[in-house]
Amino acid sequence: MRDREWSVPALLLTYAGLFGILALIIGYGFTKVTMASEEATRRAQQEKTLLNERVDSAREIRRALARPVAPPDPLPPITAKPANSTVTPELNRPRNSKLAASGKSPSEKKPSKLQVPPAAWDAMAMGTRADASTQRGPTFERSAINGW
């Protein structure tokens, strides 16, 4: 190096310049890092993909299903009497000997079945020609030029 003597103000100015440049570089790097992290958090908050929405809804459903459901309140006892009762009280039953022996009331008779003639069953099974023609749609020839 040269044998030059540096004055105190020149040395202070040199050191201050170096520290200033170093501080500017550190400040610039710090602002870039903080701006990038803020942008990433802002983007993460704004973007909700379809997958994220489905995962969130699945988590909500899982939380809802994990909670126990309170049982319903018990029903009160039935105190009302039916308006049209099919059961007759014991006092109002007729004293018919056949009915009294069987233990059945006249209202408990079996209903007779409606007898359908065999010709009606055949007609329902086969249908009519008028029905067959209305059920079919138009026929298309698939091998034709315009096909479908």
Q: What are the extents of the domains in the chain? A: 9-66
The percent of residues in the chain predicted with pLDDT above 70, rounded, is 62
110 pLDDT band (50/70/90 cuts)?
low
- CA-nearest of 127, 114, 29, 4 to 37 is 29
Q: What's the CA gap between 108 and 30, in Å, rounded?
A: 95
In terms of pLDDT, which residue wins out, 126 or 70?
Answer: 70
Give one DSSP letter per residue of 75-106, joined into a string.
PPPP-PPPSS-SSPPGGGS---HHHHHHT--G
Q: What is the pTM of this model?
A: 0.28
Most confident of 28-32, 68-72, 124-128: 28-32
Question: What's the mean pLDDT in 7-12?
Answer: 89
Indicate the average pLDDT of the chain.
77
Q: What's the CA gap between 79 and 84, in Å, rounded?
A: 15
45 pLDDT band (50/70/90 cuts)?
confident
147 pLDDT band (50/70/90 cuts)?
low
144 pLDDT band (50/70/90 cuts)?
low
Q: Convert the pLDDT of each residue in 84-103 to its tens digit.
A: 767 655 544 555 555 555 55
Q: What's the CA gap between 141 and 30, in Å, rounded?
A: 76
Q: Convert the pLDDT of each residue in 50-81 to its tens digit.
A: 898 999 999 999 999 999 989 999 998 888 88
Q: Six-digit token pair at 98?
A: 């056949």
* pLDDT given at position 103: 54
